Amino acid sequence: MKTSAPWRLRILHLLLLILIGISVLPLWFYGTMMISTNQDTLKTKEMELQAFTSESLAREISLSMENVRQQLSDFFNSVGPVASQIPAAKYDSDPRLLSALQQFAAHQATVIFVTVLNNEAKGAQAGEYNAASDPFLRKALEAAFLSARQGTEYQSNPITITRAGRNEPVLLMARPVKQGTQFLGMAGAVVTLEPILMRLEETGRRTGGLNVYIVDNSGRLVASNDQQKTVAGFDMLSVPIVQQFVQSQAQLSMTSVFDVVEGGRTVPMLGAYSPIVNVGWGVIVQRKLSEAYAEVNQMRSQTMWWGLLVIFLSLGVAIVSAKYITRPIDQLTDTARSIAQRDFSQRADVHTRTEIGELAGTFNLMAEDIQHYIGDLTTASEQNRQLFMGSIEMIAAAVDAKDPYTKGHSARVSQYSVMLAKELGLPEEEVNKIRIAATLHDVGKIGVEDRVLKKPGVLTNEEFEIMKRHTIMGFEIVRQVKQLAEMLPGIRWHHESLNGKGYPDGISGGEIPLMVRIMSVADTFDAITTDRPYQAGKDFPQALQILRKLAGTKYDPIVVDAMQSAYDKGELRKAEVRRRSVITVAEPEPESAQVPAPTVVI
């Protein structure tokens, strides 16, 4: 039996591993340590940069917003007394009120719209942007007027407007105008956050692509240096660091590592946030970890390329130096493998004065001796096999010769049985077992009395019982030979039927082995096609028709189909000759084989 060769480590591979180990491992260890150290350093510096940037921007924006509020407070405080001296109907035309509005708007770069409304929401306005024409600002003005009526100040959420083809975040701030407790109207101003937006963009450029943005206390975007996120009010709660800011309402800065999903893939990020005091906003800065570790990635790439170069150099040196050493061993190994695969003609062609050369010479002598020995064993084995088969065939011929009318029956049954076994796809080992069993299937007839075996007529019940004993006598004879133990079922049961009406044991169905089913069909087929004293043997198609009628009750349908298939392919037709020998009836014809015409089963 062919077995797979066990795994082994080749000397060439061992030399390669040693050279690579002493050249690459130190470089890899050094590179790994440097990468790890630099990565930690870069991460620390990046976190410090982000924390410092967010805190600086938060302080700067806090001061800027406080300054805007102070300016607006001064304006609201100054315009209130003026508005209280003017009739409500004159708000939109009084020169003093218009002048105050225009001067304030002209001197405050961050104020793009300012208005004073009477108690009927009508009044004067000034500034470079007409807020009333913007639907979002108009709604904000209405909300601010309602708050003013209720006596409260108002600050809108960031609103995005478009000026000069650029999105710009703005805020609406308003305060009620009163005289004592009497509501006179509202003063309001639209403040642009463009300076803050420009500061964020400048910070992003200065820090090498840092993403900087501001969110309010509900996670909505206020301003961002990212051109794709310049729409104020955009929900940023999907970003984990924004969630942390909103949930904690922190008063202190914090740095963390988190993941975001971009284009369906998860991207690791490093970010920090700082609260803007007295505003309720937070400054958030973040960067992809891959960008933060760009220098480390570059070092890792260089280390990898240097490592690959050293590996290739080591491979080249190892291959050149190891080939000379391993070539004779490889040749010796190939020869040994060929001999293991029973090719004893191979020799190790090794010419060297080293110990390997001496080993190869000894190995070749051993291989030559083994070749001669195996040749002798093969010859002896074949002779023994032929002697064994010849002995079996001789015994079968002797049995057939006892009854001159069954001459050649055992050989033909063996031939048909082998043909069926091959047609069913059985392995060669099983085919050989069936060949031997079929050849010996009637060996028990050697113990049947001649008066019964050679009787020319129908057997009596007593004689039939004697004839049936040939299966058991054959079983008892063959069981004495241990090497034929696997053939015993075919010898004992070749007259059994699927329906259980056979002999000697009356087994049925699945109890009958495949070997027996094959021999039963082959035995019956030869009996039907052989000439008998009281009838001529039928031709092969007629015999096949009879077998098909009995398939499923007496014979295995699969085996009968195999017999038909062998005939259709031409294998069975080679044996299609008429049997002319005249014989006496050896045993009564099986009841099932009497349909449609009398047929003798040997």
The CATH number given to whatever domain includes residue 286 is 3.30.450.20
Q: Are 220 and 146 in the same domain?
A: no
Q: Are 455 and 484 in the same domain?
A: yes
**Residue 7, in any domain of the structure:** no
pLDDT score recorded for residue 551 = 92
pLDDT score recorded for residue 1 = 45
The partner residues of 282 in beta bridges, in order of sequence, read 215, 275
Helix, strand, coil share (%) of the chain residues, nearest 5? 60, 15, 25
Mean pLDDT of 316-337: 69
Torsion (CA) 530, 531, 537, 539 in degrees, nearest 10: 70
Tell me the per-residue pLDDT of 584-602, one tens digit each, with 9 for 90 and over: 333 444 433 433 333 344 4
Q: Residue 572: helix, strand or coil by DSSP?
A: helix
64: exposed, middle or buried (Cβ count in 10 Å: 0-12, 13-18, 19+): middle
Q: Residue 193: helix, strand or coil by DSSP?
A: coil
pLDDT surpasses 70 at 452? yes
326 in Cβ contact with 10 (< 8 Å): yes
DSSP state of 586: -
Contacts of residue 559, defined as CB under 8 A and 6 or more positions apart, other chains included, come to 420, 424, 517, 518, 520, 521
**Percent of residues, the chain, with pLDDT higher than 70:** 73
Cα 144 to its chain centre, rounded Å, is 62
Total structural domains within the chain: 3
Q: Residue 513: helix, strand or coil by DSSP?
A: coil
Mean pLDDT of 384-397: 63
DSSP state of 571: T
256 in Cβ contact with 271 (< 8 Å): yes
* Pairing status of strand 123-126 against strand 111-118: antiparallel
Q: Are 126 and 264 in the same domain?
A: no
Residue at token pair 């407007």: 161
One-letter amino acid for residue 87 of the chain: P
pLDDT score recorded for residue 513 = 94
d(CA 111, CA 73): 13
Per-position DSSP letters for 345-411, written without gaps between them: T-------SSHHHHHHHHHHHHHHHHHHHHHHHHHHHHHHHHHHHHHHHHHHHHHHHHSGGGTTHHH
**Residue 98, in any domain of the structure:** yes
d(CA 434, CA 519): 8
Residue 170: how many other CB atoms lie within 10 Å? 25
Nearest to 281 by CA among 157, 170, 144, 192: 157
Mean pLDDT of 510-523: 93
d(CA 444, CA 399): 8
What's the mean per-residue pLDDT of the chain? 80
Residue at token pair 């280390």: 303
d(CA 30, CA 548): 83
Q: Are 430 and 543 in the same domain?
A: yes
Q: How far is CA 399 from CA 406, 445, 466, 486, in A?
A: 9, 7, 16, 21
**Residue 552, in any domain of the structure:** yes
- Residues listed for the chain: 602
**Two structure tokens written together for 419:** 């043909």
pLDDT score recorded for residue 209 = 80
d(CA 330, CA 348): 10
pLDDT score recorded for residue 576 = 63
Q: Using N-to-C axis directions, what is the helix angle for 470-478 and 461-468, rounded to 10°?
A: 20
Q: Are 494 and 521 in the same domain?
A: yes
Task: Point out the least confidently predicted range of 51-60, 107-116, 289-298, 495-504.
Answer: 289-298
Tell me the per-residue pLDDT of 252-302, one tens digit each, with 9 for 90 and over: 788 888 888 888 888 898 889 999 888 889 999 988 888 777 666 666 676
Q: Residue 497: helix, strand or coil by DSSP?
A: coil
Evaluate if pTM is beyond 0.75.
no
Nearest to 50 by CA among 293, 252, 253: 253
Banded pLDDT at 139 (limits 50, 70, 90): very high
pLDDT score recorded for residue 382 = 63
pLDDT score recorded for residue 565 = 92
**Residue 8, in any domain of the structure:** no
**Two structure tokens written together for 513:** 């082995």
120: exposed, middle or buried (Cβ count in 10 Å: 0-12, 13-18, 19+): exposed
Q: How far is CA 154 from CA 151, 182, 189, in A?
A: 10, 18, 11
Task: Point out the least confidently predicted range of 56-65, 385-394, 415-424.
Answer: 385-394
d(CA 407, CA 285): 105
Nearest to 361 by CA among 344, 353, 334, 327: 353
d(CA 488, CA 479): 7
Q: Are 543 and 414 in the same domain?
A: yes
Mean pLDDT of 19-46: 70
Mean pLDDT of 40-61: 85
Q: Residue 172: helix, strand or coil by DSSP?
A: strand
**Residue 10, in any domain of the structure:** no
Mean pLDDT of 88-117: 88
pLDDT score recorded for residue 7 = 59
Q: Are 264 and 163 in the same domain?
A: no
Q: Are 445 and 542 in the same domain?
A: yes
Highest mean pLDDT among 113-122, 536-545, 574-583: 113-122
**Residue 41, in any domain of the structure:** no
Higher pLDDT, 35 or 73: 73
Higher pLDDT, 341 or 69: 69
d(CA 312, CA 307): 9
pLDDT score recorded for residue 557 = 94
DSSP state of 10: -
Q: Are 476 and 551 in the same domain?
A: yes
- Angle 307-312-318 from CA coordinates, rounded to 5°: 120
One-letter amino acid for residue 461 of the chain: N
Helices (H) and strands (E) in the chain, counts: 17, 11
Banded pLDDT at 23 (limits 50, 70, 90): low
d(CA 80, CA 183): 11
Q: How far is CA 75 from CA 65, 156, 386, 472, in A?
A: 15, 18, 125, 128
Q: Are 182 and 217 in the same domain?
A: no
pLDDT score recorded for residue 300 = 65
Q: Are 570 and 468 in the same domain?
A: yes
pLDDT score recorded for residue 581 = 38
Domain membership of residue 463 as a residue range: 403-594
**Two structure tokens written together for 480:** 């004495």
Which among 260, 293, 326 is the end of a domain? 293
Which among 192, 209, 232 is the end of a domain? 192
Contacts of residue 581, defined as CB under 8 A and 6 or more positions apart, other chains included, come to 404, 405, 407, 408, 530, 531
Residue 488: how many other CB atoms lie within 10 Å? 18
Tell me the per-residue pLDDT of 546-572, one tens digit each, with 9 for 90 and over: 999 999 999 999 999 999 999 988 887
pLDDT score recorded for residue 8 = 60
One-letter amino acid for residue 151 of the chain: G
Q: Residue 469: helix, strand or coil by DSSP?
A: coil
Mean pLDDT of 411-430: 92
Contacts of residue 425, defined as CB under 8 A and 6 or more positions apart, other chains included, come to none
Q: Are 178 and 280 in the same domain?
A: no
Which among 162, 192, 222 is the end of a domain? 192
The partner residues of 215 in beta bridges, in order of sequence, read 221, 282
Tell me the per-residue pLDDT of 208-221, one tens digit each, with 9 for 90 and over: 788 899 998 888 98
